[in-house]
Structure 1
């Protein structure tokens, strides 16, 4: 195989071997070939069975040995092909078993890989198991990127053990558009927590004044903002997850599990009363006095960054840098670029007197967890707020009314605006202090800014990050952009979009 790196583990008993198999399932990705070597009884099948059941999240899944069938296929979270080549007549038969096809879209687990000769991929992950007393010794050899993934899941296991969660069962929960991933952690006493896996982001290329995009756009680079904002939200009476344990250096957080119940029904359609309650919670948040310096229990003060003109403009530029080249097959002209950026200078200037408060940044359906056991605003559970800033309150209202992930009926969107504005008028002090026309202008500008960002972001996720699934949201994003552009304050940008040939789907 190609030059790789190695590490050795001691698996003290069968339970430990099964646990390692389950953890390994969290480290693998489509295209991985795992070669399991070892004598009869060394634990290859035990490890493979645990890995497959973990990937399926089914502890009772029947996982027979493929000794006679040679290959067994599983439609799990990532498809798995389990090969046992002990009875392979000739290595050339491997192709007849569909190995290449299985590897192209999933994971191949191969017992007795020696029988395949040199036909297995060079960049395979080799696990060599040997008896070690009552347990087993496993030597893992793999290319550096794969070994790094394995070391990461082992580091998380050490973190859990350190904090008293020995033997906790881990399962993949979800990933997001960032580098973060999430696991569910079932403890020995029946509690279920969520583990946030937040490895340090590599420094990206400079995009402005020598700074990479995350620094310009104020994207959180470690877990401290999440912890500080969670404490603040809970402190004012909203629902956000507690963080009982965190390793800031490694980027590992164990957080309260708020559940899986969201604001969409089983068909993925918005539940009206839950969306309306979410707007009530947002108005409640905006009714509090602005606080920019938030303490972290046992740690430093987190200064919430401003959604400054540079960050606003940088995000709006995503339409220029990614959407237009993708749509038109060519970069915008320098004249188009300068005119677009000049328009945004003017629009951002219109926000100088806009009401500002804590801006959660992604206040929409994926990040709202319904809490039926609570009452009032506490029924709206909040997550994914680590990138929060101080900025126009209209941004978060635009995020929920124009949900990026789901179609909101116009009647519901209109009602949410009515609910929010009525609450803000009733809560304003002194009475009549709430500037509704100014708020609606700021709402249109922030809605347009957000949708210009999203239109570019969906393309960047596809082209740069290999995540084409986000393009499904593009038609909705363009419809939202068209709706917000109808405000008179947006006429210069509306005209620019027309000249640029940006077409909007019908509502």
Structure 2
């Protein structure tokens, strides 16, 4: 999160004015300094609130577009697992405002870019936290929405609609559509047959904060679901925002797998885990590439376009390993990659 500017009363931004009014209605924050620190790929915005030597984060989550209640619910679950998430200081669900504890301004991505040598310790900590979530999350995961066939299909359709159709201008004929749907079925089947766990759903370097205690701080968890065991680990290790040599990814995969509960390893050997991991990554990266172009064309947020080549390259490398993804391999190499060079 980066400091941008102090916010004042703004006749052009009703949300900021409401947030200001809400914060200053609390006696402890009447004269607090408020500055915007970030927005994200959703409609949420975040502000740092300083009072004397203390610092907090205010979240603006428009109720007609974002589910504040889900954030509170999942935050409570994660807090019970002893992982590091923001504490809820105050809430106004009706207006869509939350006041949270401040986990700091260093996300993993910034730290890793500045100090790549820190990766070993940072990823060890992240994998430990992920194990906590998946182990202790057994108590809570059935209270989350299911990562079911309907949702998996919807996510894959984002790639076709926004990258293939909107960006490239590509319309599949009957034969190609059949092959595309067969690839989708393969990816969906792979996701549904995996052991089910508590899934953060965006467990990557921009949502992990480097903290002095109980590292990492974990944010942006409100879309958590009950779903495939490999989803969060592939989100972390094949991150859309930073990449690592495949040998390093393999080492981290081994660290993750061999620390799993024995009951999981009994039904999923390492070879099967890697297969699940690879195909789950293809699903996630197809969705992400589509979302990045949707943000660009629909929402006017073009900052994620630079991350599409990395994301697409992950897909291509995996398709080289599996004949059942041959249609996708040709699509990525012959249609998607050339189109990305023109962005």
TM norm structure 1: 0.60
Task: Name the SS for the 2:41 alignment partner.
Answer: coil
1:295-331 Cα offsets, whole Å, 9 max, x none, are xxxxxxxx31011111111111122111113553333
1:306 aligns with 2:146: yes
**2:205 is the counterpart of 1:365:** yes
1:6-405 maps to which residues of 2 (within 5 A)? 22-24=6-8, 27=10, 146=12, 149=13, 151-164=14-27, 165-187=29-51, 189-201=52-64, 221-263=66-108, 264-265=110-111, 267-268=113-114, 270=116, 271-272=118-119, 273-288=121-136, 290-292=138-140, 303-372=143-212, 374=213, 378-405=214-241
Could you say which structure has the larger radius of gyration?
Answer: 1
Cα 1:320–1:429 change in 2 (3 A) is: closer
> What number of residue pairs does the alignment pair up?
329
Matched residue, 2:301: 467
Distance 1:268 1:472, change over 3 A: farther
Q: Residue 341 of structure 2 corresponds to which residue in structure 1? A: none
Partner of 2:249: 413
Separation in structure 1 between the aligned mates of residue 241 and residue 136 of structure 2, nearest angstrom: 28
Structural RMSD (CA): 2.5
- After superposition, what is the alpha-carbon deviation per residue over 1:247-287, rounded to whole angstroms, capped at 9, x for unaligned? 11111010010112232437446431202321222123222
Aligned pair 1:442/2:306, yes or no? no
- 1:492 aligned to which of 324, 328, 333: 324
SS in structure 2 at match of 1:290: helix
> Hey, what's the Cα distance between the residues in 1 that align with 2:229 and 2:266?
18
- Aligned equivalents of 1:483 and 1:415: distance in 2? 18
Note closer, same or farther for the CA distance 1:485–1:292 as it changes in structure 2 (3 Å cut): farther
Cα distance change on mapping 1:358 and 1:498 into 2, 3 Å? same
Q: Judging by fraction of residues, say which structure has more strand.
A: 1
**Offset of 1:454 from its aligned partner?**
1.2
Per-residue deviation, residues 78-130 of structure 1 (Å, max 9, x unmatched): xxxxxxxxxxxxxxxxxxxxxxxxxxxxxxxxxxxxxxxxxxxxxxxxxxxxx
Structure 1, unaligned runs of 5 or more: 1-20, 28-139, 141-145, 203-220, 295-302
Higher relative contact order (CA 8 A, sep 6+): 2
Q: In the alignment, which of 288, 292, 316 is matched to residue 454 of structure 1? A: 288
Separation of aligned partners in 1, 2:144 and 2:312: 30
Instruction: State the alpha-carbon separation in 1 of the partners of residues 157 and 87 from structure 2.
Output: 36
Task: Look up the SS of the partner of 1:288 in the other structure.
Answer: helix
Aligned-residue offset at 1:404: 0.9
Is 2:316 aligned against 1:482?
yes
Q: Secondary structure at the match of 1:287?
A: helix
